[in-house]
Amino acid sequence: MKWLWMVSALVACAVVIFGGSIAWRDHKKRLAEWDELSHLRARAEQGDAAAQDKLGNRYFDAKGVPKDLGQALRWYRQAAEQGNPKAQFNLGRIYYYGEGVKKDYTEALSWFRKSADQGDTHAETSLGYMYLYGQGVPRDDAQALTWYRKAAEQGNPPAEQTLGWMYANGRSVAKDYTQAAVWYQKAADQGDAVSQATLGYIYAYGLGVETDRIGALRWYRMAAAQGEPTALRFLKSFRPTKRTRYLELGLAMMSFILGILFLSALEFVLPGRKLRTWRQPFFAFLGTAFLGIASLNLYASFHIIRYLPFQDTFYLAKRVLLAIALLLIATVVLPAKKSGSTTQPC
C-alpha cells in the first residue's frame, strides 16, 4: 500500500504544479491586458483620436471590459469629431443599426460620408448599400456604383462582390458578364464565399468566360467549405444519376468477381505450392487488373468524373487496365481453353 500512497502523492503534486502554472499564466495575461487597457485609456483621455476609437471598440466588443454601448458611443464620438475615419465609420454603424441609440439613417449617412471622403472602404461600401436600397436617401444606382467602385478599387471584398453583381444584372451599367467575372474573381481570391459560389455558377455555364466545369467545381467546393448555402446545395446534388450509379455498381461487382476468380491463381506463392504452369502468374495479373477496374467503377458510381480535375488520368487508367485485361484474355486465357489446359484461374 505504501507505493500506492507515493503514486497518489506524486499525482497530487503534479496536479497542483500544473494548475498553479496555468493560474499564474492567466494572471500574467490579465495583468498585461489591464496594463494595456490603462495605457489606452490614458492616451484616450489625453485626446488621442486613434486611442479613443480603439477604446470605443473595447466597449463595443466587450474586450477586456464589460460591454457598454454608451461608453462606446462616447469614445467613438470624441474620435469622430477629431476627424478619425475609423471612428466616423463606427459611429455611423451605431446609428445605422440603432445600437444603444435610436436608429437614424440620416445620422448614419452623415458619418459614413465623412469617413468615406477620407477613403475608408467600409464607409464607402456602406454608402453604396444605402444608395442602392434607398436608406436615408433616395435610391440612386449611379451613386451606389460610384461608392462601390471606390471601395472595390481599394480591394474591399464586399464591394468587389456587389460590383460584380451590378455588372451581372446591369444595374446602372450595361450588363457585362466578363466584368462581373473579373470583380467576383477579385473578391473570391480574398475568400469571399458568396463570390466563390457565384464564380462556380459563372464557370459552369460559361457566362463571360470559357466554360470550365472543373473550375466551377473547385469554386463551389471552396465556398461550401465556408458553409455557403448555394454551394452546399449544389454539391449535395452533385451525384451521378440513379441509372449511371447502378450501371457503374454492376460493372464494379462483375469486375470484382472476375478479379477474385483470376487472383486465386496466386496459390503458387503459398508454402508447399509450386507453379503448375507458366500461365498462372498471368492469371493473377489479370485478376489484379479486374480489381483495379472494379475500384474505378465503384468510384465512378459516386462521382461525376467529368467534373473532377483528374478526369483524364482516371479515364486513361481505366482504358489501360481494360486493354491489359483484354490482351491477357486473348493471349493467355482463350489459348489455354483451346489447348485443353487443366490450369484454371481458380
Q: What is the pLDDT of residues 211-260, one digit of tens each?
A: 888 888 889 989 998 999 998 888 776 667 778 888 888 988 998 888 88
In a domain, 89, yes or no: yes
In sequence order, what are the residues at sequence separation of 6 or more whose Cβ sits closer than 8 angstroms to the Cβ of residue 75?
Answer: 44, 52, 53, 55, 56, 59, 87
Q: Are residues 52 and 146 in the same domain?
A: yes
Q: Are residues 113 and 188 in the same domain?
A: no
Could you give the residue ranges of the DSSP H alpha helices within the chain?
A: 2-45, 49-61, 69-81, 85-97, 105-116, 121-133, 141-152, 157-169, 177-189, 193-205, 213-224, 229-236, 242-263, 280-300, 311-328, 334-338
Query: Given this model, what pLDDT does residue 343 score?
Result: 43
Q: Are residues 260 and 274 in the same domain?
A: yes
Maximum average pLDDT range among 39-43, 159-163, 202-206, 257-261 = 159-163
In a domain, 83, yes or no: yes
In a domain, 281, yes or no: yes
Q: Are residues 95 and 148 in the same domain?
A: yes
In a domain, 25, yes or no: no
Q: Are residues 232 and 179 in the same domain?
A: yes
Q: What is the pTM of this model?
A: 0.66
Query: Given this model, what pLDDT does residue 20 score?
Result: 62
Q: Are residues 53 and 96 in the same domain?
A: yes
The CATH number of whichever domain residue 61 belongs to comes to 1.25.40.10
Distance of CA 241 to the CA centre of its chain: 26
Q: Locate 112 and state its grid cell.
A: 459614413
The mean pLDDT of the chain is 85
Q: Are residues 285 and 323 in the same domain?
A: yes
Percent of the chain at pLDDT > 70 equals: 84
Query: Given this model, what pLDDT does residue 7 score?
Result: 63
In sequence order, what are the residues at sequence separation of 6 or more whose Cβ sits closer than 8 angstroms to the Cβ of residue 145?
Answer: 128, 163, 166, 171, 172, 173
Q: Which residue has the higher pLDDT, 178 or 316?
A: 178
Query: Given this model, what pLDDT does residue 344 score?
Result: 46
Maximum average pLDDT range among 54-68, 120-134, 267-281 = 120-134
Q: Are residues 59 and 150 in the same domain?
A: yes
- Residue 129: give the domain boundaries: 46-154
Q: Are residues 57 and 142 in the same domain?
A: yes
- The domain tally of the chain equals 3
Q: Are residues 255 and 333 in the same domain?
A: yes
- Mean pLDDT check: name the lowest of 30-44, 62-76, 155-169, 188-202: 30-44
In a domain, 142, yes or no: yes
- Which of 238, 261, 279 terminates a domain? The answer is 238
Residue 4 banded pLDDT, cuts 50, 70, 90: low
Residue 281 banded pLDDT, cuts 50, 70, 90: confident
Q: Are residues 275 and 301 in the same domain?
A: yes
In a domain, 38, yes or no: no
- pLDDT tens per residue, range 20-78: 666 656 655 555 565 777 888 889 989 999 999 999 998 999 888 889 999 999 999 99
In a domain, 316, yes or no: yes
Query: Given this model, what pLDDT does residue 260 score?
Result: 86
In a domain, 175, yes or no: yes
- Mean pLDDT check: name the lowest of 124-138, 192-206, 296-310, 329-343: 329-343
